[in-house]
């Protein structure tokens, strides 16, 4: 019986040549799923978007732009786009799978990074940003949540949804976008701005956060926040070295004309310590015909979607998912909450029944005044963000990893990452009685 269930789970869904697994990320307009290329065995991330949603919100041009940009920018420190597929109802973006989590997760758990480590990530960030700018691409939403880490600990820039491509005859950008705490002052003034200088400001905020463990500009009142950003009103912690302090002052210059530029950053004495420029070979000329075809001729060349039989129990986690989650063959990382990787990935294991797990999660939701919606051993918790500036939402899903052993995967769906990690600590403390702790 279990073997039949496992076969059903493995073949639960197939999109073209890709076997589709669990959801590993969720946003307002898309889900990101674990998938495997059945021809090559390569594990990838599959971003799934409903065509109806794209059309309803008039996002066709924006999504085309994001996909086009990701195909144009091919760099070791940027998440790679493999291909784009379409079915009758959905668009599938096949991306490089990054298993190390967000850089922000590391900051949350360590408080702040050692200066040498912060500098290493900053060097990789500047390499990626410089490459984007050389292609005429401006990210416009650089922040730690959009900086991922691969299995080797290298930086990967993601989320080009707000990026701008160069347009003939247009020198300045005019769209106010990005996350408020990381946005350059000239962007807020709505008088046109240079995309390169705006990205450099965001890089400066990121470097500050990496070394300080907190934001240079952080106010719940937007008017006060914008005033401090416009005046570059912030304090540098005493533990910053003189070299780091000097560079940050140049990066967080409210005047974009005198702000440090990428070339100047590369020549900075502090930046150059142990700096080794990344080596990569330029890819052949990028062809965007397939992307245009997906959006312009959506009635043609569909991939097939095959859905297997459903089961009323929790999904069984495939072996290739478990191996990828554990970053190799050391599966103990899945079950030991004390290991740093698992702590950052926010998941735990229980020997209680799935129904008991869900019931306990619902009780926790009620205790912290979050609404909840449950279906098929998956639960979404929703509420208002603590700063009252948006929605806070968490998705929790139960998977069977062995007979009578269940992994509970917790992921942020909306809201601030810092608030999410604070919630996860509360959740674990209230669920401590059902969390399995393996004997040593």
Nearest Cα residue to 278 out of 105, 154, 176 = 154
Are the C-beta atoms of residues 250 and 256 closer than 8 Å to each other? no
- Phi and psi based region of residue 24 (left: phi greater than 0; alpha: psi -120 to 50; beta: remaining): alpha
Half-sphere exposure of 221 (CA within 13 A, CB side): 4
Catalytic residues: 141
Token pair for residue 223? Answer: 């008017």
Tokens 């450099």, located at residue: 200
Dihedral in degrees, nearest 10, Cα atoms 91, 97, 99, 100: -100
Distance CA 393, CA 415 (A): 7
Instruction: Find the helix packing angle between 417-430 and 103-110, rounded to 10°.
Output: 60
Distance CA 285, CA 283 (A): 6
Are the C-beta atoms of residues 55 and 83 closer than 8 Å to each other? no
Are the C-beta atoms of residues 37 and 18 closer than 8 Å to each other? yes
Are the C-beta atoms of residues 95 and 82 closer than 8 Å to each other? yes
Are the C-beta atoms of residues 123 and 105 closer than 8 Å to each other? no
Distance CA 425, CA 83 (A): 37
Tokens 């950003």, located at residue: 229
Tokens 């496992």, located at residue: 6
Are the C-beta atoms of residues 409 and 397 closer than 8 Å to each other? yes
Is position 56 annotated in a ligand binding site? yes
Residue 62 gets which letter from DSSP? H
Half-sphere exposure of 241 (CA within 13 A, CB side): 12
Residues pairing with 380 in the sheet = 373, 395
Token pair for residue 249? Answer: 């002052």
DSSP string, 293-358: HHHH-TTSSPPPEEE----SSPEEPPHHHHHHHTTSS-GGGGT-TTSHHHHHHTEEEE-S-HHHHH
Q: Please give the annotated binding residues for ATP, written as ranges.
A: 56
């Amino acid at each position: 019986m279990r073997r039949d269930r496992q076969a059903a789970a493995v073949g639960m869904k197939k999109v073209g040549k890709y076997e589709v697994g669990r959801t590993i990320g969720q946003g307002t307009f898309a889900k990101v799923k674990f998938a495997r290329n059945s021809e090559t065995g390569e594990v990838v991330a599959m971003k799934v978007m409903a065509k109806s949603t794209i059309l309803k919100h008039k996002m066709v041009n924006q999504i085309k732009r994001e996909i086009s940009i990701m195909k144009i920018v091919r760099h070791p420190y940027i998440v790679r786009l493999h291909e784009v597929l379409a079915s009758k109802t959905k668009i599938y973006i096949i991306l490089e799978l990054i298993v190390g989590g967000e850089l922000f997760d590391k900051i949350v758990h360590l408080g702040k990074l050692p200066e040498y480590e912060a500098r290493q990530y900053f060097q990789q960030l500047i390499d990626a940003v410089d490459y984007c700018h050389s292609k005429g691409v401006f990210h416009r939403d650089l922040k730690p949540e959009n900086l991922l880490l691969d299995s080797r600990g290298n930086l990967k820039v993601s989320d080009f949804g707000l990026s701008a491509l160069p347009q003939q005859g247009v020198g300045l950008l005019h769209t106010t976008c990005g996350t408020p705490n990381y946005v350059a002052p000239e962007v807020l003034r709505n008088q046109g701005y240079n995309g390169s200088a705006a990205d450099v400001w965001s890089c400066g905020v990121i470097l500050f956060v990496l070394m300080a463990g907190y934001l240079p500009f952080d106010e719940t009142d937007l008017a006060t926040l914008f005033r401090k950003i416009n005046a570059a009103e912030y304090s540098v912690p005493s533990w910053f070295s003189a070299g780091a302090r000097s560079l940050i002052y140049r990066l967080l210059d409210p005047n974009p004309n005198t702000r440090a530029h990428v070339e100047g950053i590369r020549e900075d004495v502090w930046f150059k310590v142990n700096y080794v420029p990344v080596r990569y070979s330029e890819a052949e000329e990028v062809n965007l015909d397939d992307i245009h075809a997906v959006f312009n001729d959506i009635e043609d060349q569909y991939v097939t979607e095959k859905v297997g039989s459903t089961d009323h129990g929790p999904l069984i986690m495939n072996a290739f998912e478990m191996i990828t989650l554990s970053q190799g063959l050391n599966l103990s990382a899945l079950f030991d909450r004390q290991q740093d990787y698992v702590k950052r990935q926010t998941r735990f294991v229980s020997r209680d029944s799935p129904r008991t797990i869900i019931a306990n999660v619902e009780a926790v939701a009620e205790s912290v005044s979050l609404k909840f919606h449950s279906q098929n051993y998956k639960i979404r918790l929703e509420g208002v963000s603590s700063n009252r500036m948006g929605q806070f939402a968490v998705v929790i899903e139960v998977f069977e990893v062995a007979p009578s052993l269940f992994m509970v995967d917790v992921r942020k769906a909306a809201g601030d990452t810092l608030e999410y990690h604070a919630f996860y600590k509360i959740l674990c403390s209230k669920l401590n009685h059902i969390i399995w702790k393996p004997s040593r």
